[in-house]
Structure 1
Amino acid sequence: MTIIKSAELATNDTAVTQDNMAALRSGDIASAAPGERPGLHGGAHSLHRQSPSTVRKLKEAAKTLLPDALFLSLLHHKCIGRYPNLIRPVTFNEKILQRNLHPDPRYIDLTDKLLVREYVARKIGDKHLIPLIAAPDAFTPDVFDALPDAFVMKANHGSSYVELVRNKSETSFEKLKKLADQWLRAEFYYVGRERHYRQIKARVFFEQLLLDQRGQIPADFKLHCFGGRPGRPIIYILVISDRFGNATHGDVYDIDWNHLDIAIGDYKRSAAPAPRPRHLQAVLDVAARLCEDFDYVRVDLYAPDDRVYFGELTFTPGAGVLPFTPDSVDYQWGKLLA
């Protein structure tokens, strides 16, 4: 088990115990859908007689016994196909894994989707913030009754905690409260052991529903910004279209809107590039301002019509287990990240 040795050398986490090894033998670490904890697949024969919910709970409990570095090494192998070098990281994903384990203290407030609004307002002005409807201490019937007919419910402490409501009459307080409580109970840290998430106090909040002139949800611009050098940052733009529909695509462009032959994660490329946004330069300028204090950050923006709105800052995208096609991009981007 050379990977265990390398994981122990790369971190001060607790040593692998017999309980850890038992958890490993019970199944493999596997990737999970966004917002879910990665699961242990397979199981000891003695577990097969248990109910599925009991088996799942036992596997989840077993995973929490694994030291962070070991967990991430196994997850990286599962998702990327090789064990990471945590001592001398080379690839983009390996360097992101190091951020998971040793996050900059600034990541805590800037990853919090509510607290980051103050930073964004100082850097680029509050005109780029999606209007905040409510950020209550508790989600109550009175809060629900005061919401407009259309809104977005989010949680501040993780990824993919998003519920779009186009018509409040088609949902209910009880339905949204159940979902909000589910989010608030989730410890997002366990998804990818991104340690800065442990320090975020979970809250639910409500924003205005952004729509373009056609009444459609705008595309999600995820700008991978590599700074830490004189002049403009190096930026690659991942555009997620129809994110909440049935024809979701993810396309990567350079700053000149060349459609690159790159796929990130599970997103499929479109057959043809989207039209170049008329205000692409405004999008790039906003991203450049928001990334200037960091050697790397992913800046998420929305660009409906001629406007630019802030989404979030992400310092550990994919938790360091983000597949690239071709795989060489992992090494190329690794050279850009100090």
Structure 2
Amino acid sequence: MPINEYAQAREEMDASGTRNEKAASSEEVGARPLLHDHVLGDSIPSQSAIRKMKEKAKSILPDTLFLSLLHRKCIGRYPRLARPATFNEKILQRNLRPDPRYVRLTDKLEVREYVAARLGEAHLVPLIAAPEAFTRAVFDSLPDAFVMKANHGSTFVEIVRDKSETTFERLQELSERWLSTSFYWVARERHYRKIRPRIFFEQLLLDHHGRVPADFKVHCFGGHAGRPLMYILLITDRFGNNTHGDVFDAQWRHMDVMIGPYTRSAEPPPRPDNLEAVLKAATVLAKDFDYVRVDLYAPDNRVYFGELTFTPGAGVLPFTPDHVDYEWGQLLGASADL
């Protein structure tokens, strides 16, 4: 499937997540307007109304059916959930039957304790605040530069380089939108249902050039059997206008592979001086799992933890070429971590 179509599908998924779980109740379904109302003389529904009706219809689909249709839309084929073969199909299994450990380790606040115990507190991005409520007093106490995040999903990141250029009201509105989004409804990753949404603030990491550091997404296979087999998706300029994603093996050989919406750089980034430290950190955090993606930052020869991801792309992550989906599926056992 073309990358731009995948990105469009993800946008639709994100839009569908902003609802309360009660929206799927049978009582509300019965009260919804019928699609054929305009045939009886009413005006034709607007595009906005049609989209709302489509989102309501999605909310009543069983998880298995929803994921099958989403996989078809993003990957271009229906998944074989009974006998999964590809990486994405096996990730879909995890969505539907998550390991109980995923709840704590996917929560971006709760996981900090786990990382500190295994890797050390020095590898945690300094936490500024994790308030029960985001108030003006909290805003006033924040430093001039920081990052606002939510703990219960992906893409909930707001970088503030200069607090004087934003307002409490703007960040409050953003935080309320995040907190009202049930990430489970976005792509039916069931472990997200049990994470209590919270807002928190971290120190803004910058390298010596004043840039946000690259994101090392280290896919680790077979961690509990020793040093895992690792593939690195390096995302550069993630919050800028020249974003690229380059895939490397553990020896920093540039691979002719694209993952998700990221295109390769014209010139691959050079091998980082602290690559071994990055791989060592990923190995430590992956040792309890058959597969996990360990996200790290490595500015100026330091290594900081980002997150642990057990269901990358929610099982609808396009690979280019497509055969990589099957090759990675062979690396990930059908019953891994279940």
TM-score band by shorter chain is: 0.7 to 0.9
> What is the distance in 2 between the residues matched to 1:229 and 1:147?
40
> What is the distance in 1 between the residues matched to 2:281 and 2:14?
31
Task: Name the structure 2 match of 1:95.
Answer: 90
> What is the distance in 1 between the residues matched to 2:37 and 2:265?
46
TM-score, normalised to structure 2, is 0.87
Count matched residues: 306
One-letter identity of the residue aligned with 1:135: A
Residue among 287, 293, 299 paired with 2:288? 293
2:65 counterpart of 1:70: yes
SS in 2 for 1:32: helix
C-alpha contact 2:224 2:289 (8 A) present in aligned 1: no
Task: Name the structure 2 match of 1:36.
Answer: 14
Residue among 304, 309, 315 paired with 2:304? 309
C-alpha contact 1:35 1:158 (8 A) present in aligned 2: no
2:254 counterpart of 1:259: yes
> What is the distance in 1 between the residues matched to 2:305 and 2:76?
34
TM-score, normalised to structure 1, is 0.87
Deviating above 4 A after TM superposition, structure 1's stretches of 4 or more consecutive aligned residues are 43-48
Q: Give the drift of 1:229.
A: 5.5
Aligned pairs for 1:308-327 (under 5 A) are 308-327=303-322
> What is the distance in 1 between the residues matched to 2:256 and 2:36?
45
> What is the distance in 1 between the residues matched to 2:320 and 2:293?
19
Aligned pairs for 1:172-187 (under 5 A) are 172-187=167-182
Q: Give the drift of 1:57.
A: 2.3
Aligned pairs for 1:144-293 (under 5 A) are 144-228=139-223, 230-293=225-288
One-letter identity of the residue aligned with 1:36: D
SS in 2 for 1:33: helix
Identity in percent: 68
SS in 2 for 1:310: strand
Q: Give the drift of 1:49.
A: 2.3
Task: Name the structure 2 match of 1:105.
Answer: 100
Residue among 93, 117, 120 paired with 1:122? 117
C-alpha contact 1:34 1:160 (8 A) present in aligned 2: no
Relative distance call for 1:247 and 1:239 in structure 2 (3 A) is same
Could you say which structure has the greater relative contact order, defined with CA pairs below 8 angstroms and 6 or more residues apart?
A: 2
Deviations 1:264-322 (A, max 9, x none): 01100011210100000000000000000000000000010110000000000000000
Task: Name the structure 2 match of 1:79.
Answer: 74
Deviations 1:42-97 (A, max 9, x none): x9675782344433322211101000000000110111111100001110000000
Gap regions ≥5 residues in structure 1 = 1-29
SS in 1 for 2:11: coil
C-alpha contact 2:225 2:287 (8 A) present in aligned 1: no
C-alpha contact 1:249 1:269 (8 A) present in aligned 2: yes
> What is the distance in 2 between the residues matched to 1:68 and 1:129?
35
SS in 2 for 1:266: coil
